[in-house]
């Protein structure tokens, strides 16, 4: 399924790459939706896309950091008497969110160095991890086992969805983790203002990020699968985490803890920068009126949008609260994240597909294949939106219920309902942000737009069509 996910994500990336080439600015998906839509639909497109992007951003922060909390709880049981509980894991999750919030609030100058550290850890560190696992493993599984063995782990009572439904349903559920890891590739677009020849470098960056993520992910999975020593013991491990069990079987307790520490440090960096992206998106949305004006604030001393940073932390914590009564909370959080982000990626692509007259292509132009690629991307996003709302564990009860449709449904109801009830009367979308982008103002820097307005650089009564 990893290959299918990679190629499907590549179609989405190609659709996004065309948009980035045509609009090489640091704005996010709701910004692109506003530019590509007809003027009378611009604000509506930005509003809906913005709310789905916000949902995805919050859920990604939840998924990454809650996953890290689970890894910490699980690793802490190796060679000790520690017993993880839902409450303890939630407490670890809260502590991690506080640490991420503190660094983003008061250590903005550290983020650049931590980003460089993260790049080294995720490239060199994970490569060394895979090589060490393969080299140290006493025995290796056959290629037939790795590529041709089907295992259904969806049955809580032993009867999985492959029996109750079909193996295809289990395979569809298996798409989730792969799809979740291939998100955030719009980050290349956000840096387009800072790159040379952005009309080419930004779209290539989007595609390269998908390809590199898929390649590294595939390498990690293969190294672990080939190095399984006892499959039955791995899937039924008392530890509750197959990866930890694989490492224990290969390296022993001390070695497993050391390698899990490397993984956890990598995941910590992911969670940290997820909150950075999350808070910046919320700040930009608040600046354009999508969130209460209270959140359109930059701390003068620390030069950070502290209010949206802690809003991001608070909402991420709220989204994890069902974990106290649910065994599929992590799966639900990743489903919500993937659906929210991919919907926000897909809406600008869909808008360009419906109204091609407003889509002035850049040098990265798929020409005759453009509409075919866009259609495949939109259909795939529609497909995963449906399947990620379905239950992943059998039987379905209060513990295994997938609450993804509830979260996505609430946001969808809020986004559409609020628009037609009141937001359409005053929300104009990122019109002034679009003008600022055209003037070369760095909107990634919190407070830059406000300073430009104070200096009189931005005019009044801006017509969005004139800015395209």
What Cα–Cα distance (Å) separates residue 269 from each residue in 103, 105, 171, 185, 272? 11, 15, 30, 16, 5
Q: What is the pLDDT of residue 4?
A: 79
Q: How do residues 184-215 score in pLDDT, each as one tens digit?
A: 877 766 555 445 677 888 888 889 889 888 88
Of 448 and 118, the structure prediction assigns the larger pLDDT to: 118
What Cα–Cα distance (Å) separates residue 178 from each residue in 54, 60, 149, 405, 410? 21, 14, 18, 20, 25
Read off the DSSP letter of residue 328: T
Distance, CA of 76 to CA of 291 (rounded, Å): 40
Assigned token pair, 241: 């985490």
Distance, CA of 224 to CA of 118 (rounded, Å): 22
Average of per-residue pLDDT values in the chain? 87
225 by Cβ neighbours in 10 Å (0-12 / 13-18 / 19+) ranks as middle
How many CB atoms are located within 10 Å of the residue 122 CB? 16
Of 42 and 453, the structure prediction assigns the larger pLDDT to: 42
φ and ψ of 328, to 5 deg: -120, 25
Q: How do residues 341-363 score in pLDDT, each as one tens digit?
A: 999 999 999 999 999 988 888 89
Assigned token pair, 412: 């969808």
The separation between CA 401 and the C-alpha centre of its own chain, rounded to angstroms, equals: 22
Predicted confidence band at 444 (pLDDT cuts at 50, 70, 90)?
low
Q: If you search the block for the tokens 């696992």, which residue do you land on?
A: 133
Q: How do residues 300-331 score in pLDDT, each as one tens digit?
A: 888 889 999 999 999 999 999 988 877 777 88
Q: What is the pLDDT of residue 466?
A: 41
Secondary structure of residue 394 in the 3-state scheme: strand
**Picking from 14-23, 129-138, 241-250, 392-401, which range would have the lowest pLDDT averaged per residue?**
392-401
Q: Do you find a cis peptide bond into 395, omega within 30 degrees of 0?
A: yes
Q: Kindly provide the residue ranges of all beta strands, DSSP E only, lying in 149-260, ordered along the sequence.
A: none
**Smallest Cα–Cα separation from 189: which of 6, 38, 345?**
345
Q: Spell out the residues 6+ positions from residue 51 whose beta carbon is closer than 8 angstroms to its own.
A: 290, 411, 414, 415
Q: How do residues 230-262 score in pLDDT, each as one tens digit?
A: 999 999 888 889 999 999 999 999 999 999 999
What Cα–Cα distance (Å) separates residue 459 from each residue in 297, 370, 438, 440? 22, 35, 12, 14
Please check whether residue 18 is in contact with residue 203, taking contact to mean a CB–CB distance below 8 angstroms. Answer: yes
Q: What is the pLDDT of residue 461?
A: 45
Q: How do residues 126-184 score in pLDDT, each as one tens digit?
A: 999 999 999 999 999 999 999 999 988 888 777 888 888 888 888 888 888 888 888 88
Long-range contacts of 200-208 (CB under 8 A, 24+ apart): 200/21, 200/363, 200/364, 202/17, 202/20, 202/21, 202/24, 203/16, 203/17, 203/18, 203/20, 203/21, 203/362, 203/364, 204/17, 204/364, 206/13, 206/16, 206/17, 206/20, 207/10, 207/13, 207/14, 207/17
What is the pTM (predicted TM-score) of this model? 0.88
Q: Kindly provide the residue ranges of all beta strands, DSSP E only, lying in 225-381, ordered along the sequence.
A: none
φ and ψ of 274, to 5 deg: -65, -45
HEC readout, 92-109: HHHHHHHHHHHHHHHCHH
Distance, CA of 26 to CA of 423 (rounded, Å): 25
Q: Kindly provide the residue ranges of all beta strands, DSSP E only, lying in 52-201, ordered along the sequence.
A: none
Q: What is the pLDDT of residue 188?
A: 64
Q: What percent of the chain has pLDDT over 70?
A: 89
């Amino acid at each position: 399924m990893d290959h299918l996910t990679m190629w499907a994500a590549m179609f989405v990336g190609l659709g996004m790459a065309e948009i980035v080439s045509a609009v090489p600015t640091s704005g996010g998906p709701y910004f692109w939706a506003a530019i590509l839509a007809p003027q009378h639909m611009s604000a509506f497109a930005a509003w809906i896309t913005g709310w789905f992007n916000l949902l995805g951003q919050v859920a990604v922060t939840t998924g990454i950091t809650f996953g890290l909390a689970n890894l910490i709880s699980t690793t802490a049981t190796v060679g000790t008497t520690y017993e993880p509980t839902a409450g303890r894991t939630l407490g670890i999750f809260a502590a991690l969110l506080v640490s991420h919030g503190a660094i983003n609030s008061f250590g903005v100058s550290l983020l650049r160095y931590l980003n460089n550290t993260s790049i080294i850890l995720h490239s060199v560190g994970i490569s060394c991890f895979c090589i060490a696992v393969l080299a140290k493993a006493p025995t290796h599984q056959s290629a037939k086992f790795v590529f041709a063995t089907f295992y259904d782990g969806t049955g809580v009572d032993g009867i999985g969805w492959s029996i109750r439904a079909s193996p295809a349903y289990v395979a569809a559920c298996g798409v989730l983790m792969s799809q979740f890891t291939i998100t955030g590739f719009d980050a290349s677009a956000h840096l387009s203002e800072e790159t040379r020849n952005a009309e080419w470098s930004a779209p290539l960056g989007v595609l390269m990020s998908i390809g590199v993520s898929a390649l590294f992910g595939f390498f990690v999975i293969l190294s672990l699968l080939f190095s399984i020593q006892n499959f039955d013991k791995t899937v039924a491990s008392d530890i509750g985490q197959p990866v930890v069990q694989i490492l224990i079987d290969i390296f022993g307790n001390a070695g497993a803890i050391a390698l899990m520490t490397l993984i956890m440090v990598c995941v910590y960096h992911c969670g940290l920068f997820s909150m950075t992206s999350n808070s910046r998106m919320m700040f930009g949305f608040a600046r354009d009126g999508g969130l209460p004006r209270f959140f359109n604030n930059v701390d003068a001393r620390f030069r950070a949008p502290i209010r949206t940073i802690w809003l991001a932390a608070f909402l991420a914590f709220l989204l994890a609260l069902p974990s106290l009564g649910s065994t599929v909370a992590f799966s639900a959080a990743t489903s919500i994240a993937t659906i929210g982000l991919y919907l926000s990626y897909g809406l600008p692509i869909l808008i360009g597909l419906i109204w091609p007259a407003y889509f002035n292509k850049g040098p990265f132009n798929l020409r005759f294949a453009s509409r075919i690629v866009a259609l495949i991307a939109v259909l795939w996003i529609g497909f995963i939106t449906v399947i990620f709302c379905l239950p992943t564990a059998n039987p379905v009860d209060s513990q295994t219920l997938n609450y993804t449709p509830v979260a996505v449904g609430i946001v969808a109801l809020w986004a559409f309902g609020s628009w037609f009830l009141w937001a359409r009367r005053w929300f104009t979308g990122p019109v002034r942000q679009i003008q600022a982008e055209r003037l070369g103002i760095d909107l990634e820097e919190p407070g830059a737009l406000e300073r430009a307005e104070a200096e009189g650089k931005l005019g009044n009564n801006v017509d969005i069509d004139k800015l395209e």
